[in-house]
């Protein structure tokens, strides 16, 4: 393999891992291209504009190995099953685990399987969609995932099938030495179909760093409706780099909700391409940070065709020495007339040592559009606290109430009731 | 229909595109240590100044041109620029009568009165002007009146000769030569500019102004402005600029530094109207400017107001470092781009002191094939208790071939900070136009009306003499660009 530029030492380290890895989902020239793309971009340092506020390269400086199979019992993950009746697909250390999953009685027209078996059994769909959307040449972690990915979940909802039961993908990791894992999911929701998908990221029983470079590609076909949730609740060993690449076809509706509750580092790359007319997109997010956590959310909403709407709301509460970054881009391409795009980011900074960085961006090349973004950062409103205290609440409970109210705007967008209760409970615990 | 009017107007002429046939004293093309020695010698500079330049030059050699701005242009060939060009004059001027009549005519054509007279009839409004043509300051008016109040207002070159202590103390203290590529280049080769010092307790009795004119071909203009307001001082400062119409891209890389002490206030207004290039995007000025002010002590205030209509490529961020407690920074900007112009402009507000406040109002208007970006940073450092910022960036799009972009950076490290940012992008509403037309106002005028209303918040901040000019300029730049 020829290298374009001389990789730095961290990139070289990771490259050695790639070279020691076999039987990936794609082989041959496509894999070579991914490796080349990774090497030419390297592991981004803080000098990289998109990685300005997060030092991923510092984490990868340590020695890591590729994840190996890990035995986890059913009991160990019982508490991670948020929804009792859901179809559950479990990924352990990046590898789909059929035994732990609950995929009995799938309705007709719904396929949930490991992605490697889909590559054989659902060849047509796999080849049409796999690695067609996430861009290896502009994001080195996409390139890394593409060159390393061996396993993950494949979901296909066939034409006109409406799946009422939520589908829950549990990513659970556990390690006693530093590991890198690269799960890769592909979700294709065909024309007129509907699905509710939850992805959760958890760590159990660990004593070493887990670098989870997870990538999910979602194809939302014409007229379909997809409701997508992410619950990121790893422990202090979890370093999560989570890319979600979505492509929407005309008249589709896609809503995504990201809840970042814990984890040492969470970097979200959420890219949504609106590739058709009359599309509606909702992006909601809530991040609660504490301790030395770093949470960095990058979203890109790419309006390529006219007459589409997008609406984005991200909120954060920052405590301790943690740092939170929100970077939201809205592109409106030349032809995307009559676009309505809104974006809002609100933060509360509660501690002396916390940091908030926000960078809402608009890049607009069409004139008949309505686009706006707003961001605000502040403390809890003293007047509001006074109001509550005047009514007999203690200062602590007044603050708690206000934080709840602040978070509820995002929490209330959850349409699955059991999930909403779960998230609410988590938040309540957090504010205790 | 809309496009027709637009096309028609895109042909709008740049009024200041003429060249004055004036004999100039040029340095040879190229950039090396000899040229720096040459400039320094021409200016009869002391040793420390030369050393400063050389240090900056050697540092510059280690730098690479930055690429992060949302603009694209052919990189200037730094060896193909004349770094020193001065209108030839034999001796030091005693009075106006001795100024080359060609030069006087130039400024008359530009509508700038070099003579010391009342500007607007019936209004007692005088402006002291320092005129910089190509590399040197030509004339500073009202110098005597100002010096009675203890105010020093002169060309940078004179300041180096006559007030070396002040220059030494403040030059590079806000924008060090290590700051960025163009600041380093400027520090190495700057030829002149304006210097102003307002002593303790003095409220400057008139508007001070610098007028920049590029005339000679193949030159680059590198001037420096240094403005110091001592305790309790106040000054309002204006800056204007034009250049001839040429096919080549000329480089303008200036540095402006402002320092305010306790309770001092500086208001800095710019109407930037460098030649923007023709309708095919050929020619025009590259305007790469570093402007920064610092409120050193408490209760200082620095306010930037800018109306940007010219230049092929603009790349500037007038900034304020709010170091003193209770200091205030303001940024009001209207940036208009048409044809193939590109602008990447905004501000930085760095909150360091306690109870510091900043306001950012930015209005971008893009028409034709142009791209207009707002890029700004609001940083609240730890310990900047009760810092407060409000930013609003609006963009107006006229035509479907232009772009409007917003890149705000907000970095907060103090929990008592309250920071708000809002941005909108839209076009002139059909209903707004309809409303005006229904009342007998034609499309042209209606657009003028709407655009002026849109920019009002900023235009209101300009000194009266400039506001009139700016409104006219807006009308010329945009007439008929129906959205």
Using the Cβ of A337 and the Cβ atoms of chain B, whether some distance falls under 8 Å is answered with yes
Determine the residue among A345, A368, A377 to mutate to test chain B binding: the one whose Cβ has the most chain B Cβ atoms within 10 Å.
A377
Higher pLDDT, B462 or B324: B324
Per-residue pLDDT, B107: 60
Among B408, B412, B425, beta carbon nearest to A355:
B412
Lowest-confidence pick of A14-18, A406-410, B96-100? B96-100
Q: How confident is the model at residue A10 (pLDDT cuts 50, 70, 90)?
A: confident
Tell whether the model's pLDDT for residue B179 goes beyond 50: yes
Higher pLDDT, A81 or B276: A81
Per-residue pLDDT, B99: 57
**Cβ pair B119, B127 in contact under 8 A:** yes
Average pLDDT over residues B213-235: 85
Average pLDDT over residues B384-390: 93
* pLDDT per residue as tens digits for the range B393-412: 999 888 888 889 999 999 99
Per-residue pLDDT, B6: 37
**Cβ pair B220, B85 in contact under 8 A:** no
The span from the CA of B427 to the CA of A338, in Å, is 11
**Cβ pair A375, B426 in contact under 8 A:** no
Distance from CA of B263 to the nearest CA of A (A): 28
Per-residue pLDDT, B108: 63
Average pLDDT over residues A217-221: 96
Per-residue pLDDT, B21: 67
CB pair distance less than 8 Å for B407 and A375: no
Tell whether the model's pLDDT for residue B143 goes beyond 80: no
Please name the residue that has the structure tokens 């008139």: B206
Higher pLDDT, A327 or B474: A327
> Which sign does the torsion angle of CA B42, B44, B47, B48 carry?
negative
For residue B67, what are the contacts with CB-CB under 8 A and spacing of at least 6? Answer: none
Element (H, E) at B427: strand B418-427
* pLDDT per residue as tens digits for the range A85-124: 899 999 999 999 999 999 988 999 999 999 999 989 999 9
Q: How confident is the model at residue B32 (pLDDT cuts 50, 70, 90)?
A: confident
**Cα distances (Å, whole numbers) of residue A305 to A189, A244, A254, A335, B352:** 20, 21, 16, 6, 44
Q: Give the A:B interface size as CB pairs under 8 Å.
A: 116
**Cα distances (Å, whole numbers) of residue A57 to A50, A238, A337, B433:** 13, 15, 40, 54
Tell whether the model's pLDDT for residue B95 goes beyond 80: no
Task: Tokens for B13, please give them.
Answer: 């002429």
Q: How confident is the model at residue A167 (pLDDT cuts 50, 70, 90)?
A: very high
Lowest-confidence pick of B208-212, B408-412, B435-439? B208-212
Per-residue pLDDT, B277: 80
Q: Give percent of chain A above pLDDT 90.
A: 70
Per-residue pLDDT, B119: 39
Lowest-confidence pick of A151-160, A311-320, B54-63, B201-210? B201-210
Per-residue pLDDT, A313: 96
The span from the CA of B315 to the CA of B411, in Å, is 22
Task: Tokens for A6, please give them.
Answer: 């001389």
Residues of B in contact with A349 (CB under 8 A): 412, 414-415, 417
Per-residue pLDDT, B426: 84
Per-residue pLDDT, A424: 94
Tell whether the model's pLDDT for residue B124 goes beyond 90: no
What does residue A14 show for φ and ψ, rounded to 5 degrees?
Answer: -65, -35
* pLDDT per residue as tens digits for the range B55-66: 999 999 998 888
Q: How confident is the model at residue B461 (pLDDT cuts 50, 70, 90)?
A: confident
* pLDDT per residue as tens digits for the range A75-84: 889 999 999 8
Per-residue pLDDT, B350: 95
Per-residue pLDDT, A97: 92
Higher pLDDT, A67 or A124: A124
Higher pLDDT, A269 or B238: A269
Element (H, E) at A126: helix A123-129
| Phi-psi category of residue B477: left, alpha or beta, with phi > 0 → left and psi -120 to 50 → alpha | alpha
CB pair distance less than 8 Å for B395 and A364: yes
Per-residue pLDDT, B477: 67
Per-residue pLDDT, A126: 92
Tell whether the model's pLDDT for residue B302 goes beyond 50: yes
Distance from CA of A303 to the nearest CA of B (A): 14
Using the Cβ of A100 and the Cβ atoms of chain B, whether some distance falls under 8 Å is answered with no
Mean confidence (pLDDT) of chain A? 91
Average pLDDT over residues A29-37: 89
Element (H, E) at B446: helix B443-459
Higher pLDDT, B381 or B249: B381
Average pLDDT over residues B110-125: 44
Per-residue pLDDT, A63: 85
Residues of B in contact with A368 (CB under 8 A): 400, 427
The span from the CA of B168 to the CA of A180, in Å, is 56
Tell whether the model's pLDDT for residue B158 goes beyond 50: yes
Higher pLDDT, A402 or B105: A402
Residues of B in contact with A367 (CB under 8 A): 397-400, 402, 427, 483
Distance from CA of B130 to the nearest CA of A (A): 39
**Nearest residue to B246 (alpha-carbon basis) of B221, B274, B212, B270:** B274
Residues of A in contact with B423 (CB under 8 A): 360, 362, 372-374
Using the Cβ of A76 and the Cβ atoms of chain B, whether some distance falls under 8 Å is answered with no
Per DSSP, the three-state class of A66 is: strand
Tell whether the model's pLDDT for residue B74 goes beyond 60: yes
Per-residue pLDDT, A400: 92
Residues paired with residue B367 on neighbouring β-strands, in sequence order: B398
Among A349, A359, A371, beta carbon nearest to B408:
A359
Q: How confident is the model at residue B92 (pLDDT cuts 50, 70, 90)?
A: very low
Tell whether the model's pLDDT for residue B12 goes beyond 80: no
Q: What is the DSSP string of B26-45?
A: EPPBS-SHHHHHHHHHHTT-
What does residue A345 show for φ and ψ, rounded to 5 degrees?
Answer: -135, 120
* Cβ atoms within 10 Å of A2's Cβ, excluding its own: 6
Average pLDDT over residues B92-120: 54
Per-residue pLDDT, B209: 80
Tell whether the model's pLDDT for residue A152 goes beyond 70: yes
**Cβ pair B316, B283 in contact under 8 A:** no
Average pLDDT over residues B177-196: 89
Q: How confident is the model at residue B15 (pLDDT cuts 50, 70, 90)?
A: low
Checking ipTM against 0.85, whether it exceeds it is: no
Among A351, A364, A374, beta carbon nearest to B405:
A364
The span from the CA of B329 to the CA of B349, in Å, is 7
Per DSSP, the three-state class of A377 is: strand
Tell whether the model's pLDDT for residue B1 goes beyond 60: no
Per-residue pLDDT, B96: 52
Rounded to a whole number of angstroms, the CA Rg of chain B reads: 22
Per-residue pLDDT, A8: 67
Using the Cβ of A381 and the Cβ atoms of chain B, whether some distance falls under 8 Å is answered with no
């Amino acid at each position: 393999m020829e290298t374009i530029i001389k990789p730095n030492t961290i990139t070289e380290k990771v490259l050695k891992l790639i070279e020691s890895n076999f039987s990936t989902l794609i082989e041959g020239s496509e894999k070579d291209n991914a490796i080349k793309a990774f090497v030419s971009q390297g592991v981004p340092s803080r000098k990289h504009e998109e990685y300005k506020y997060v030092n991923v390269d510092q984490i990868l400086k340590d020695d890591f190995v590729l994840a190996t199979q890990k035995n986890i019992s059913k009991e160990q993950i019982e508490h991670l099953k948020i929804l009792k009746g859901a179809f559950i697909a479990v990924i352990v250390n990046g590898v789909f685990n059929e035994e732990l999953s609950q995929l009995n009685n799938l309705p007709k027209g719904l396929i949930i399987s490991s992605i490697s078996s889909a590559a054989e059994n659902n060849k047509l769909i796999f080849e049409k969609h796999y690695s067609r959307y996430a861009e290896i040449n502009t994001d080195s972690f996409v390139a890394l995932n593409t060159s390393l990915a061996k396993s993950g979940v494949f979901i296909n909802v066939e034409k006109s099938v409406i799946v009422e039961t939520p589908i829950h993908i549990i990513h659970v990791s556990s390690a006693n030495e530093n590991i890198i894992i690269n799960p890769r999911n592909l979700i294709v929701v065909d024309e007129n179909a509907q699905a509710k998908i939850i992805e959760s990221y958890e760590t159990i029983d660990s004593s070493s760093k887990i670098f989870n470079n997870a990538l999910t590609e979602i194809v939302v076909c014409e007229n379909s409706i997809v409701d997508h949730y992410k619950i990121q609740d790893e422990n202090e060993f979890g370093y999560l780099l989570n890319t979600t690449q979505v492509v929407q076809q005309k008249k589709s509706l896609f809503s995504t909700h990201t809840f970042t509750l814990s984890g040492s580092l969470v970097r979200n790359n959420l890219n949504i391409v609106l590739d058709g007319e009359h599309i509606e997109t909702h992006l909601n997010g809530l991040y609660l940070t504490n301790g030395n956590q770093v949470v960095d959310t990058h979203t890109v909403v790419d309006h390529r065709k006219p007459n589409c709407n997008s609406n984005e709301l991200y909120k954060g509460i920052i405590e301790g020495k943690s740092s939170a970054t929100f970077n939201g881009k809205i592109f409106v391409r030349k032809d995307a007339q009559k676009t309505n795009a809104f974006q809002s980011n609100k933060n509360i900074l509660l501690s002396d040592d916390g940091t908030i960085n926000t960078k809402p961006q608009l890049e607009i090349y069409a004139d008949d559009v309505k686009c706006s973004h707003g961001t605000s950062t502040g403390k809890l409103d003293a007047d509001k606290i006074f109001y509550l205290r005047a009514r007999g609440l203690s200062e602590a409970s007044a603050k708690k109430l206000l934080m709840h109210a602040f978070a509820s705007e995002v929490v209330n967008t959850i349409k699955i009731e059991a999930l909403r209760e779960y998230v609410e409970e988590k938040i309540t615990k957090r504010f205790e | 229909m809309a496009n027709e009017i637009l096309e028609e107007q895109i042909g709008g002429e740049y009024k200041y595109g003429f060249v004055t046939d004036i004999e100039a004293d040029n340095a040879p093309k190229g950039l090396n240590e000899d040229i720096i020695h040459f400039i320094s010698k021409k200016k009869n500079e002391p040793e420390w100044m030369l050393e400063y330049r050389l240090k900056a030059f050697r540092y510059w050699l280690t730098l690479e041109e930055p690429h992060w701005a949302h603009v694209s242009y052919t990189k200037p060939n730094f060896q193909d620029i004349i770094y020193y060009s001065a209108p030839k004059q034999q001796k030091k001027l005693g009075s106006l009568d001795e100024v080359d009549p060609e030069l006087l005519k130039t400024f008359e054509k530009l509508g700038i009165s070099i003579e010391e007279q009342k500007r607007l009839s019936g209004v007692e409004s005088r402006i002291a002007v320092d005129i910089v043509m190509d590399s040197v300051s030509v004339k500073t008016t009202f110098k005597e009146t100002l010096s009675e109040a203890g105010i020093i207002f002169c060309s940078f070159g004179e300041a180096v000769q006559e007030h070396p202590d002040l220059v030494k103390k403040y030059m590079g203290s806000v924008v060090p030569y290590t700051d960025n590529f163009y600041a380093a280049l400027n520090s190495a080769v700057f030829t002149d500019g304006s210097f102003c010092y307002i002593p303790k307790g003095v409220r400057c009795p008139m508007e001070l102004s610098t007028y920049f004119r590029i005339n000679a071909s193949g030159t680059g203009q590198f001037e420096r402005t240094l403005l110091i307001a001592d305790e309790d001082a106040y000054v309002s400062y204006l800056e204007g600029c034009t250049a001839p119409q040429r096919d080549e891209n000329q480089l303008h890389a200036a540095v402006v530094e402002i320092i305010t002490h306790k309770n001092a206030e500086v208001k800095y207004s710019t109407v930037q109207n460098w030649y923007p290039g023709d309708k095919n995007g050929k020619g025009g000025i590259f305007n790469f400017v570093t402007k920064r002010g610092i409120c050193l002590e408490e209760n200082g205030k620095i306010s930037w107001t800018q109306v940007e209509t010219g230049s092929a490529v603009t790349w500037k961020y007038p900034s304020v470092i709010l170091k003193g407690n209770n200091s205030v920074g303001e940024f009001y900007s209207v940036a208009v781009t048409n044809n193939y112009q590109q602008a990447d402009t905004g501000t930085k507000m760095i909150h360091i002191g306690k109870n510091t406040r900043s306001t950012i109002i930015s209005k971008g208007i893009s028409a034709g094939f142009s791209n207009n970006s707002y890029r700004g940073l609001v940083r609240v450092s730890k310990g900047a208790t009760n810092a407060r910022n409000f930013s609003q960036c609006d963009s107006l799009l006229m035509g479907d071939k232009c772009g409007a972009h917003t890149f705000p950076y907000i970095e907060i490290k103090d929990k008592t900070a309250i920071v708000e940012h809002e941005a909108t992008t839209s076009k002139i509403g059909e209903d707004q136009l309809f409303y005006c037309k229904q009342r007998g106002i034609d499309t042209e005028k209606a657009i003028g009306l709407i655009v002026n209303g849109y920019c009002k918040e900023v235009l209101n901040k300009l000194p009266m003499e400039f506001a009139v000019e700016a409104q006219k300029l807006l009308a010329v730049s945009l007439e008929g660009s129906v959205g």
